[in-house]
Structure 1
């Protein structure tokens, strides 16, 4: 699944952007780093459960950051539902 996160352009990185996307029902799946601070990840986990969004756990923030194509760690990231326009 991390390979999908690496390849897609339709993603958000970080707690604020992920929360915003979840509230707009635009998240296909959510990635959470296991070594991230719980006060950051727990609200995201609850929102994912409420919205029935799959949570994929990643061993470390560094690994999630690399998968997102950034040079720093990331606590959370999400793949967005792609909107098709006709």
Structure 2
């Protein structure tokens, strides 16, 4: 599933993911397990409210690599 981030229509970053979940534009959200809770807690709450699936990735570095960026990422999402 993580490989879809490299190929599919995606967004990366907590603010962008949060906005897209609120707008109903997201299929799946990816969250790094090692990201700070204060960064990801709002996204997790929104995903639960909007019934959006969450996939947890071990590290922020792994999530960033999966997205094809050279920096770590706390969250990312595949768009509808």
TM-score in terms of structure 2 length: 0.98
Q: In structure 2, what is the equivalent of residue 66 of structure 1? A: 65
Q: Residues 1-86 of structure 1: matches in 2 within 5 Å?
A: 1-8=1-8, 10-81=9-80
Extract unaligned runs of 5+ from structure 2: none
Question: Secondary structure at the residue paired with 2:30?
Answer: strand
After TM superposition, which residue ranges in structure 1, 4 or more long, deviate above 3 angstroms?
none
Extract unaligned runs of 5+ from structure 1: 82-86
What are the superposed Cα offsets for residues 11-54 of structure 1, whole Å, 9 maximum, x if unpaired? Answer: 11000000110111000000000000000011100000000000
Separation (CA, whole Å) in 2 of partners of 1:12 and 1:50: 20
Question: Secondary structure at the residue paired with 2:55?
Answer: strand
Aligned residue pair count: 80
Higher Rg of the two aligned structures: 1
What are the superposed Cα offsets for residues 43-75 of structure 1, whole Å, 9 maximum, x if unpaired? Answer: 100000000000000000000000011001000
Question: Secondary structure at the residue paired with 2:3?
Answer: helix
